[in-house]
Chain A
Amino acid sequence: MKKSVFIAVLGVAASVATSYGQGYIVFDTYATSPATYVNSFGTTTAVQDGIYNAELLYAFGTVLDPVTESSLASVTSDPTGLQVEAGSLASLNNGNGSIQGPTLTIPGYTGGAITFEMIAFNGSSYDTSTLRGRSGTFTMTGIQTSSGAPASYFSDNGPGQPNFVVGLATPEPTTLALAGLGGLASLVALRRKQA
């Protein structure tokens, strides 16, 4: 009995904790100052082809994980230390590579610095997409915490979201080499078995 009461109390405490605090941000890179865009890297399928979706990642506090817009490493590397904002999935504008997405609610945010990163991809997720890219992290000193006031924009404080590129998410050379070695070993093992 005592145990069940204790668990019930814990459950209430957990629900209170999760419902405490929310932040509000507009997932928009077109109405920011300056506006920022996603561009195609090299000869990769153009942003204008209208095949890309975008999502917003976030983490409370400051997370330093920038990328270089002109480097393919920004396409092959993965974001670290952030989580996807549920409900942020939106189509990338195929006219100019901006996002004009929804107003998002960040659960659990009560104030202070918050780090964002935007990802764009052509498949169902960033991880499995053949074409993709990420903005690298950018940090705001704070965002709106009241639903009764207008939501914040990326450029309200902090550097705002940088431009970034999407490109072919080819494996790194070391990964290719390892895959080749693995294949060779399998072949050798097969031939030995057959002999």
Chain B
Amino acid sequence: MKKTLLIAAAALVAGIISSEAQVYSANVVGYVSVAVTAGQLQLISNPLDDGTNTANSLLGSTLPNHSAIQIWNGSGFASITKTSSGFAGNPSIPVGTGFFVKASTNATLTFVGNVVPAPGSGPSSLPMTAGQLQLVGSILPVSGNFNDTGTNTLNLIAGLPNHSAIQTWNGSGFVSITKTSTGFAGNPGYSVAQGFFVKASTNSVWTQNLSN
């Protein structure tokens, strides 16, 4: 009897050690809150990996019914309405994907999940195709400026060729800013979970890294 208990206790301790080791060695878990205003189109992005990364898993419990999202398909936007049964088709929204939200009432969207990339796992990278508009957001949940470079930053200009451009949403239209050898003019600010268009002048790769 005593031996059985000891083995059971040892197994429990081993389980705890094992699960703690997974947590501390690999993942940073967090949350990001984004306030959305009723009736306003806001361009945001998915800042964290919740393991599923679909419209229903990310927004199903926080975005009110009668709201809508618009997803970029490479040439235009497709609108999907949120009803009491969620989003029809439940589209995938991977980390670092930009999309529009139009909330029916004021709400706070809370994204919960793992930071990508995990510490020490190497950089996350996003291929950018020449001449193609891509609706993106920072894979890392960071804020700062568009000219920031280095670990734990947006690090966009490090990989984005000159003559490329970004388009940021000002609430009613897009503002285009071209990248030159000195970066983006005015060094515009970037907020956590902000979405924006990027149009690379040549094929290139955007990488972001998280410090250990």
Where the two chains meet, the residues of A that have a C-beta atom closer than 8 Å to any C-beta of B are 24, 26, 28, 30-31, 33, 35, 93, 95, 100, 102-103, 105, 147-151, 153
- Chain B interface, number of residues (Cβ within 8 angstroms): 24
CB nearest neighbor in A for B67: A31
B163 within 8 A of A: no
Interface contact B77-A30, CB-CB below 8 Å: no
Whole-angstrom CA separation of A151 from B68 in the bound complex: 11
Whole-angstrom CA separation of A150 from B67 in the bound complex: 14
Where the two chains meet, the residues of B that have a C-beta atom closer than 8 Å to any C-beta of A are 38-39, 41, 66-68, 70, 75-79, 81-83, 88, 100, 102, 104, 133, 167, 173-174, 197
Interface contact A148-B197, CB-CB below 8 Å: yes
Interface contact B78-A102, CB-CB below 8 Å: yes
User: DSSP majority for the B interface?
Assistant: strand
Counting chain A CB atoms within 10 Å of each CB, the highest count among B38, B67, B70, B81 belongs to: B81
Whole-angstrom CA separation of A28 from B102 in the bound complex: 13
Taking CB atoms, residues of chain A closer than 8 Å to B66 are: 30-31, 33, 35
Taking CB atoms, residues of chain A closer than 8 Å to B82 are: 31
**Contact A30:B174 (CB < 8 A) given known A148-B197, A153-B68:** no
Taking CB atoms, residues of chain A closer than 8 Å to B173 are: 149
CB nearest neighbor in A for B84: A95
- Name B77's contact: one of A28, A31, A95, A150 (CB within 8 Å): A150
Taking CB atoms, residues of chain A closer than 8 Å to B83 are: 30, 93, 95, 100
Interface contact B76-A24, CB-CB below 8 Å: yes
Interface contact A100-B77, CB-CB below 8 Å: no
Taking CB atoms, residues of chain A closer than 8 Å to B75 are: 147
CB nearest neighbor in A for B197: A148
**Contact A26:B174 (CB < 8 A) given known A31-B79, A33-B39, A100-B81:** no
Interface contact B174-A148, CB-CB below 8 Å: yes
